[in-house]
A and B are shown apart, each in its own frame.
Chain A
């Protein structure tokens, strides 16, 4: 009876974290699409975006004596998102240039990329710890977190609504970009066959860089949303990173819509599961899901249609 009572609330919570996972998962899946490699340092892109967005938004919030409202709230959230996205993009750009590109020029074995990414991740996590202390950094919400409406028995508050809406907008934008634009066309071409894409006049190096940047924009904005609601810290990236990766695999790595679906499904599973099991083991659920998919259906829910929009 408890579960039934809680069902809608758990659903709403699951959707909220799931949409964040989806936003981060896209970064894994896009890079996997064009390079066939797991970007282990993507979680640090998320972390750096989170710090950037949080610091910018916190600065603005501190200028108000009360909780901002109306246009001011919208403005602050947008600034936080933009700064977070830019920091994420800058981090992803640097990562690509420093940790991946030199290896690609040498045509290094794939093991080398994984290791290099681990190095980048170590560097970023501990550098952030040095620059901004090793603790949780929080900010005050730039809006009043009241209940906006009810879904059956569940309350949907402003925070949840903001996250779900922003994530939804980003997902739609990305989907359109991949499916309809010229850049999307070249991303899909590189994902399917990089050499042939070159023959068609696609600048593969540029596409790879832009793919990293797009993943960074999304993860950075997602990082801000996360930091705004919870907190930011130098090692915050790890858990959401593993979960987002799980989401990407769940949907079918390389598959853009799969990552979105995988994120939402994982968020829901985790939310229901966290209620059924002990909350402190909630993080284990994602891992179990990962191992389970790998055993049962390693190509994910929608299959690894590499480079395909759907």
Chain B
């Protein structure tokens, strides 16, 4: 890459007098004015105004193709713009005056750090925290409406499970899968095929209980993952992203066009999950709560399993690949096989989730859109790649917000915000809101020119000869 600055080239800020100094107020005022009206300060103002205008546009009324500039006019050349300019101004003050406030902030932080870290560093803290979260998760549905609990299953839970799977690909192995939902679709259609004679035109001679389809879908999705990953992973890592993107699109295309899958009409009447064992007869029916607890149990199990995986030899090998693929290869780590494994594990979790989804409700090809794949990526990135709890929190927060704002923000606008969230995270907090400590360190090391923090391979800057 270009000019690698060994020390990040932060704009040097003139040393400012600490605010508590005698006669500090006047000096502080002058320093503030200097910070605001310097060239850098005015540039920041420009950026803030642009951010404000973008926000105005994002939250503004919808436009029409017949009147291309209509939406812009109604969003920006209207009284509401005042609000956004105020937001921009506040943002500007915060950014421009931050260097002045920093000494205060770090003083406060130092004071607060003592007790807080003391608690956090106790060994049992993570366990305690996890238990507390689990208890919250268990009692939560009792306080919510049926609609909300349904969303906690379809929106939050399924996506949390999907995010846990994709986290193996992005967070552990450091690759990007953009067709992740395709494996979910494979799981769903597999369920329809095996459990019902009527859900889609194609069907298995005998109808199985959906529980038996879990392993089938798990394996099928893994096989699909291997078939797709094997030719691609040998190559430059970013090719995987585009191949999976194409794959996701093709799966949707086939689901939409084939008569085996019922085309755009989708699958009706996949039987619900049920247990008939040792005299116990239980079916999951329309009430979302039982699904919620089943999903919660699965998520907890997957989190525990992946936690073990992360700390196992395989997990350590993944870390080695992320940090330096060539060195890992040289020390005998079978990098290609391990990357393929990560990809396949991710795929099978997605397939598994597909069974759960299909046995709960009607589905059609639209569910398996590109946007759904992107949503899972967004959740992983926002939550914190490489952190199991993080990606679940990511799903809870993003999908929870989506539910909370369902009447205020049109569903179609959601992805505008998701897109913005992803960019903002990549700029300011690539490690996510609940970062994995290891991932965070890797990213920061990579930024100083040590290691890669992904397994996309080092980019060739020149052909043989040079270097």
Contact = CB atoms under 8 A, between A and B. Distances in A.
| Chain A–chain B contact at Cβ < 8 A | yes
Interface of A: 36-38, 40, 51, 55, 98-99, 102-112, 114-116, 118-127, 129-135, 137, 190, 192-196, 198, 204-205, 208, 238-239, 242, 245, 249, 280-281, 283-284, 286-287, 290-291, 294-295, 298, 305-306
B452 interface: yes
- B contacts with A: majority SS: helix
Interface in B392-428: 412-416, 418-423, 425-427
Contact of B415 (A51, A126, A287, A306): A126
Contacts of A38: 238, 241-242
Contacts of B421: 119
B226 to A, nearest CB: 14
B57 A127 contact: yes
Contacts of B423: 98-99, 116, 119-120, 123
Nearest to B374: A122
Nearest to B413: A130
Interface in B437-453: 443, 446-449, 452-453
Contacts of A295: 231
Given A120-B419, A284-B253, A108 B426 contact: yes
A240 to B, nearest CB: 13
B413 A126 contact: yes
Dominant SS among interface residues on chain A = helix
B422 A122 contact: yes
B232 A294 contact: yes
A121 B456 CA distance: 20
A119 B426 contact: yes
A130 B68 CA distance: 11
B241 A114 contact: yes
A193 B242 contact: no
Contact of B1 (A104, A111, A291): A104
B3 interface: yes
Most interface-central of A109, A134, A198, A283 (chain B CB within 10 A): A109
Given A116-B426, A194-B461, A111 B253 contact: no
A193 B238 contact: no
Q: Choose among B57, B64, B245 the residue with the greatest number of A CB atoms under 10 Å from its CB.
A: B245
Interface of B: 1-5, 8-9, 57-58, 62-65, 68, 71-72, 170, 174-176, 178, 231-232, 234-239, 241-243, 245-247, 249-250, 253, 257, 370-371, 374, 377-378, 381, 412-416, 418-423, 425-427, 430, 443, 446-449, 452-454, 456, 459-463, 466-467
Contacts of A281: 253, 257
Contact of B245 (A105, A110, A242, A249): A242
A204 B65 CA distance: 39
Given A38-B238, A106-B8, A287-B246, A111 B174 contact: yes
A123 B420 contact: yes
Contact of B242 (A102, A106, A126, A245): A245
Query: Which one of A108, A135, A280 has the highest number of Cβ atoms from chain B below 10 Å of its Cβ?
Result: A108
Contacts of B72: 131
A187 to B, nearest CB: 13
* Listed residue (A55, A106, A238) with the most chain B CB atoms within 10 angstroms of its CB: A106
Contacts of A122: 371, 374, 378, 415-416, 418-419, 422
Contacts of B454: 109-112
Given A109-B443, A112-B426, A116-B423, 18 more contacts: A37-B238, A108-B430, A109-B453, A110-B237, A111-B170, A112-B430, A118-B374, A118-B422, A119-B423, A120-B419, A122-B378, A127-B58, A129-B412, A130-B412, A134-B412, A193-B461, A283-B250, A284-B250
Contacts of B377: 115, 118
Among A124, A135, A290, the most chain B Cβ lie within 10 Å of the Cβ of A290
A196 B176 CA distance: 31
A130 B419 contact: no
Contacts of A208: 2
Contacts of A116: 422-423, 426-427
A235 B371 CA distance: 11
B331 to A, nearest CB: 21
A40 B370 CA distance: 14
B1 A107 contact: yes
B68 A51 contact: yes
Nearest to B231: A295
B391 to A, nearest CB: 14
B231 A294 contact: yes
Contacts of B413: 126, 130
B422 A119 contact: yes
Contacts of B58: 127, 130
B461 A294 contact: no
13 contacts: A38-B241, A109-B452, A111-B456, A115-B381, A122-B378, A126-B412, A131-B57, A131-B71, A132-B63, A192-B461, A287-B247, A290-B242, A305-B463
Given A105-B9, A107-B449, A115-B422, A135 B65 contact: yes
Tell me which of A37, A130, A305 has the highest count of chain B C-beta atoms within 10 A of its own C-beta: A130
A99 B243 CA distance: 22
B267 to A, nearest CB: 20
A195 B3 CA distance: 6
Contacts of B57: 127, 131
Nearest to B60: A130
A25 to B, nearest CB: 13
B243 A291 contact: yes
B420 A119 contact: yes
A126 B419 contact: yes
A24 to B, nearest CB: 14
